[in-house]
Structure formats: structure tokens, C-alpha cells
Structure 1
Amino acid sequence: MNAFSILFSDIFQNYDIGGFVKNRTLASLPIGCRYRMVDFMLSSLVKANIPNIGILATNNYNSLMDHVGWGKDWDLNRKNSGLKIIPPLAITDSGVARSKFEALNHALPYINSMLQKYCIVADSNIIANIDFKEMLKFHEANNADFTVVCVRRKPRNGEIEMLVDSKNRAYDLLYHQTGADYECDTLIKVTLMSKEMLIDIIKKGNSKGWQDIVRDYISKNFNRLNVYVYKFDGYCKVIDSLDSYYNMNMDLLNEDVSKELFLSDTEILTRVKDSVPTLYGEKAKVKNSMLADGCKINGEVKNSIIFRDVIIEEGAEVKNSILMSGTVVRKDAKLDYVITDKCVSIGEKKDLRGDKNRQFTVPKYMDI
């Protein structure tokens, strides 16, 4: 495919995700038992035969580097192309990029070295199987300057509605500061453009203090640009809050969602870890849950997502929860609407409860 890609490992906004991205990038946030956030976008790009993918890192990207490595598990460990993590350069007081344009400016040497004609710029917190081959065909057929991806749903706070004509050409946009109660063509942060266009925008954006390609450039130039909307009608979630993170994981317990994401012709690739199968004890009870390898289950699990190497002892009850790898739930403990980070230990007879709209979160390595 005659395109390369730039992925943002973070989205340069003050999204906390319950403290789970305090010491890691959003791209490396664990999701769905054995995956990381970036796996979904990477897998769609690999399916489209994108030969070069650069991930723009900002800070706390050790876990991202540990996960993707040289791209071997995505067949991107190649001699002259493949996967590259582009770390921050110390051009600001903090030593890291403060906006997407500063991050893109860091990547200019990488972008200039690319031989492909087009570039796909995307956030890595998008959970969807996007057909980038079809998107490029759509882009070329319409002689577009920009093609952006939209999904049909109600826009949330801070999201953009694209206004399009009958041929899906955009002529304006609306910024919904407080969301809206109607469905519309809601923008997700995936943009296709030429390499030359991207370089020109980066240079202009840095000199003018721009923050976002769509809001700061495209929105002001509809009259002279061919901007088209590629409408995506499959499952799509943008993870930018604890609520969206929790709901996306719970969506995986829906058979239709799981089939679309994991049993489509786009294989979701991730780092391979060899481990033993999960062991279920005589008193284990598991209902409507997803469990990874290496677990030891002797208690009750219901409506939950359980990552690798989790131990749930006899008498413990885990409901409506997400337990990341290495979590231990001791005997007779009760968890309901709880999200634990890695290597958490829940003591005997502890009772931790959140609710559907406000989950109880436990930081990494915490003993309770």
C-alpha cells in the first residue's frame, strides 16, 4: 500500500483514565485480557500492508517499548521498513511535546525519509477494525486533499460533528463542547493526506501554535480543500476516560462485539507470551467472563475481564470487574465494579465495591 502511518501514543489532553496512564502511555494501556490499546490500530494497518509505522512517544513509554519491541509480533521487524518508536526530543522546557504539532515536528526527519505518497495520522486509543485499503481507494477516487473517518453516533463532550453533502464531501464542522443528544457523523482522529501536505501543515502549525489538524487547519479551509468523510459503520470505541475504558472491556462480553473484533478477517495481533492454560479448581464458578492464560480460579467470577496470571482464591467473588495481570484476590474477598492495575493484592475478606458509573480503582502494586 502506497502509504505510511503516524500513530500518537498519547492524545495530549488531561485524561486520567482512573490513574492507569500515570506511569504508562495510553497506547500501552492493557485491554481485553491480553491486548494493549495500540494493538487494534496496529493490526488494521498491518492488514492493509502499510510498510512503515511510526509511533510518536511522549513520556512514560517504557511499557510501550517493552510491548511492541521491534514489531516482530506484527511482522514489522524488517531491515528497511517496519515499526519505529519516535521518542521525544528536548525542545520544550519540560523536554517533551506539549501538543500533536510539537510531536509531529519531532517526527519530521522520519516523515521526510518515507518514500510512500500518503500518510495516515491516527490516535492509538481507537478500538475498531478499519479497512485502510478501502479508505485509500475512496481518497484517490474523490481526488481528496484530506479524508477523515467518522462514525454515526451521538458526539460526546469535545467531539466534532462533520457536515457533509450527498457525496460525503465535508463543507463545515460543529464542535460540541458539551456533547449532543442526536446521532451525527462524529469525527474520530484518523486522517489520510499526502506526505507533502502533512509536511507543509507541520511547518505552518508549529509557527502558528496550532494544536489539531482538523480544528486549526481543515476547519478554516473548507472553501479551498477537498475534504471527504469516510464513514465507518462497524464497532468503534474511543478510549479517553475511565468510563469509556470500562464500557469497552464490558462490550467484549457481548458475543456480537467479540466476533466483529476478533473473528473478522482482521486478526488482532499482540505480543506473544507463552504461558500455561488457566486452572479452574473444583469450587470455581465462571459466568459470562473473559479470562486469559495462566490464571488460577478457585472462586466465583461473573461478568468480568481477567488478565494473565490472576489468582482468585476459594470463597472470593469477582463481579463486573476488570483485573489486570498478576492480581491476587484472597480468600472470601468480594469485588464488584472494581478495576485493578497490575500486581495488586486484595486481602482476605476485603469488600470493595463501586457501581456502573463509578468503578473502584486500585493502583499498580497496591496491597489492600
Structure 2
Amino acid sequence: MRAVGIILAGGNNHRMRELSQKRAIAAMPIAGGFRAIDFALSNMTNSSIQKVAVLTQYNARSLNEHLSSSKWWDFGRKQGGLFVFTPTTTADNSFWYRGTADAIAQNLDFLKKCHEPYVIIASGDGVYKLDYNKVLEYHIEKKADITVVCKDLPRGEDATRFGVIKMNEDSRIEEFEEKPMVSNSNCISTGIYVIRRRQLIELIERCALEDRHDFVKDILIRYKNLKRIYGYKIKDYWSNIASVDSYYKTNMDFLKPEVRDYFFHQYPNIYSKVDDNPPAKYNPGCEVKNSLISNGCIINGYVENSVLFKKVFVGENCVIKNSIILNDVYLGDNTHIENCIVESRDTIRANSYHVGEDGVKIVIEKNERYVL
């Protein structure tokens, strides 16, 4: 393909509450066996983009570990490859990434050494499938300077945590407001952009000279009347996991047959790093209804409408309803978990009772399970 990929995976926000204290948002587990960044990486390789840079920063240890081998997404090539860039101190700069534009600016040498004429920029916290070739063809057809992939939210859904867009009849963006107090439109930016490489370098260098650091505010919004910025609407499934409620809802969506079929059984596939775990074990007396159970799990109790990630142990007489249990959790006997997200590597003591009554409850048990 005639494009190089950039995945912005360095940010953090407080809407994920305790879940982002030990990992980057892009490393959040999704649908039993995936990480959030797997969707952007899979879309890149499925679109024949051979060179991809991932810009990481906040709590990047688990994300960097996940990206330690590029073979899972077929980036182990002589040409191109997967590059992971973290902030580095140089003779000219000692700052951490101060924003999305600054993250690209600090790695501008990567873009200058590329030969591809276009750049696909994506965020690492989106759950979706997209052929970037179609977006690029649209971008070229419209003779656009920048193309923003956007989506219409269902009526009643809160759009104020996104960038809100208004377009004219020709799909040219006339208004772009980032996280408005009140939204007058249900069309939002998905954080996916197409731009010519040389123009991106020019705009980023100008931002750096003016001490501006945010790609949306300092490029898209600032130049919306000066550059030809178009919107490309997608109609298929797309979700952003940048809040506890949206993360919970996204995982629960995978309990719907049509969503599972779309991601797991329809071409192209979504790829992830594979662990060598045994298949899930269902012991006599257990009962499982409408749930996703991952490899390495051992089930003794009752599980309904829940997503259990890898290596979860469910003890005798446990009841789990409408919950997400992250990797490597031990649930003691007679435990009741409902409307909760249980943090990874927790040991929930026997006879515990956790119910999210006013929304989703995050369960974190500080314990000495791994002490030598």
C-alpha cells in the first residue's frame, strides 16, 4: 500500500479510573483474548500497510511486552516492519510527549525516512474493522488535504466525549468541536486520519515552532477553513473504550451473536499475541450461560452474561453475572460478583460479595498472592 501507519497509543485519561493505573488504555483486554491495540494493528496489516509505528508513553510496560514480537500481525518483514517509539531524551529535547502532535514531532525522523506518499493515523483504543485502502481512495478522489473517518452515533448516545463534526453536502467538514459541553450533532470523529506525508511533516514542524502540541486542536480545528478537510463515514461496528462504561459496554457487545460473528468469523480476521494455555475446563456441576470463556479458565460455579479472560479460576458455588473478569483472577468459593469489572491477577477471597448497584463497580483486591 502507498501509506505508512502511525498508531497513537501513549495517552491516559481519568475516565478509566483504577483500570488505567497498571496499563495503557491501548493495552486493555477486549473480548476474552485480545488487546485494544490489536484492532488497529490488524486493520493495518489487512490493508497491506507494511510499515507501522506505535507511539507509546503512559504505563507502557505491558503494551511494549505485547508488541515485543511483530510476527503476530505479520509485520516481520525485510521491508517495513513494526516500530515502537517511546519518549527519549535527545540533545534537542528532554520532554515527554505533550500531546498527539508533539508525539509525532518527536519521531519526525521516522516519517522523513519513509518513502510512502500517505500516512494513516489511528488511535490505539478503537474496536472496529476498517479497510484503510477505501479511505485512501476516497481521500484521493476528493483531492483532500486531510480525511477524517467519522461515524454517526445512535440517537441518545453521549457525543460530548468525542470530537463532534458537521459536514456540508459534499462531505467537507465545516465545523469541528473537540469534546463540547453540549453537542449539536451526532457525527463524531473516530480518531482515524489520512494525510499526505509531506504535508503532515510540514504541519507538524509548524506546530513545533509555535509550541503547539495537539493534533486535533492545533491542526484539524485550526486549519479547517484553510485546508480541504473531508469526512469519511463508516456504518459498521465501531467503539471507543476510553471510559469505564464504554469499556464495559464494548466487552458486553461481544456477547451478541452478530458482533461475535462480525469480528471472529468474517474476513478479514483480527490478530493478537497467542499464549500457550490449555482449553477452558468445565467441572461437573458448573453452569455457563451466554458468556465468553477464554483459554486456561477453570469453571466450578455459575457464570451468566459475562466475559472471562485467560486463566480465571471460578471456585465452588460462585455466582458471576453481567461481569468482566480480567486475566489470571482467582475467585474463592461462594463468591458473588455482579455488574463488576475484576482487575487482573486479583485473588477474591471466599465468601466475598461484590455488586455494582449504581453502575459498574471495579473490584481490586490488594493481596500477597505472589509473594515468594
Instruction: Assess same fold via TM > 0.5.
Output: yes
Residue 157 of structure 1: aligned partner: 160
Residue 125 of structure 2: aligned partner: 125
Deviates further, 227-236 or 20-29: 20-29
| Matched-pair contact (CA < 8 Å) for 1:297–1:312 | yes
Structure 2 counterpart of 1:135, one-letter code? V
1:325 correspondence with 2:327: yes
* CA shift in 2, pair 1:366/1:166, >3 Å: farther
Deviation at residue 360 of structure 1 after TM alignment: 3.0
2:20 is paired with a residue whose SS is coil
In structure 1, how many angstroms separate the alpha carbons of the residues matched to 2:185 and 2:164? 9
Residue 286 of structure 2: aligned partner: 284
In structure 2, how many angstroms separate the alpha carbons of the residues matched to 1:191 and 1:366? 45
Deviates further, 127-136 or 164-173: 164-173
Deviates further, 251-260 or 117-126: 251-260
* CA shift in 2, pair 1:308/1:173, >3 Å: same
Structure 1 counterpart of 2:89, one-letter code? A
Residue 171 of structure 1: aligned partner: 174
Structure 1 counterpart of 2:180, one-letter code? Q
In structure 1, how many angstroms separate the alpha carbons of the residues matched to 2:222 and 2:15? 31
| Matched-pair contact (CA < 8 Å) for 1:158–1:177 | yes
Deviates further, 346-355 or 203-212: 203-212
* CA shift in 2, pair 1:211/1:106, >3 Å: closer
* CA shift in 2, pair 1:6/1:140, >3 Å: same
For normalisation by structure 1, the TM-score amounts to 0.93
Count of matched residue pairs:
365
2:259 is paired with a residue whose SS is helix
In structure 1, how many angstroms separate the alpha carbons of the residues matched to 2:220 and 2:251? 33
* CA shift in 2, pair 1:360/1:23, >3 Å: closer
Structure 1, unaligned runs of 5 or more? none
In structure 2, how many angstroms separate the alpha carbons of the residues matched to 1:234 and 1:208? 38
* CA shift in 2, pair 1:363/1:64, >3 Å: farther
Residue 359 of structure 2: aligned partner: 357
Residue 41 of structure 1: aligned partner: 40
Structure 1 counterpart of 2:167, one-letter code? V
Deviates further, 342-351 or 155-164: 155-164
Residue 80 of structure 2: aligned partner: 81
* CA shift in 2, pair 1:363/1:77, >3 Å: farther
Residue 134 of structure 1: aligned partner: 134
For residues 161-240 of structure 1, what are the structure 2 equivalents within 5 Å? Answer: 161-180=164-183, 184-240=186-242
* CA shift in 2, pair 1:179/1:32, >3 Å: farther
| Matched-pair contact (CA < 8 Å) for 2:6–2:121 | yes
Deviates further, 219-228 or 280-289: 219-228
Residue 305 of structure 2: aligned partner: 303
In structure 2, how many angstroms separate the alpha carbons of the residues matched to 1:224 and 1:200? 14
Deviates further, 264-273 or 20-29: 20-29
Deviates further, 55-64 or 302-311: 55-64
| Matched-pair contact (CA < 8 Å) for 1:343–1:366 | no
| Matched-pair contact (CA < 8 Å) for 1:27–1:36 | yes
In structure 2, how many angstroms separate the alpha carbons of the residues matched to 1:160 and 1:284? 45
In structure 2, how many angstroms separate the alpha carbons of the residues matched to 1:365 and 1:32? 26
* CA shift in 2, pair 1:75/1:139, >3 Å: same
Structure 2, unaligned runs of 5 or more? none
For normalisation by structure 2, the TM-score amounts to 0.92
Structure 1 counterpart of 2:276, one-letter code? D
Deviation at residue 248 of structure 1 after TM alignment: 0.6
Deviation at residue 308 of structure 1 after TM alignment: 0.9
| Matched-pair contact (CA < 8 Å) for 2:127–2:239 | yes
| Matched-pair contact (CA < 8 Å) for 1:314–1:332 | yes
Deviation at residue 212 of structure 1 after TM alignment: 2.6
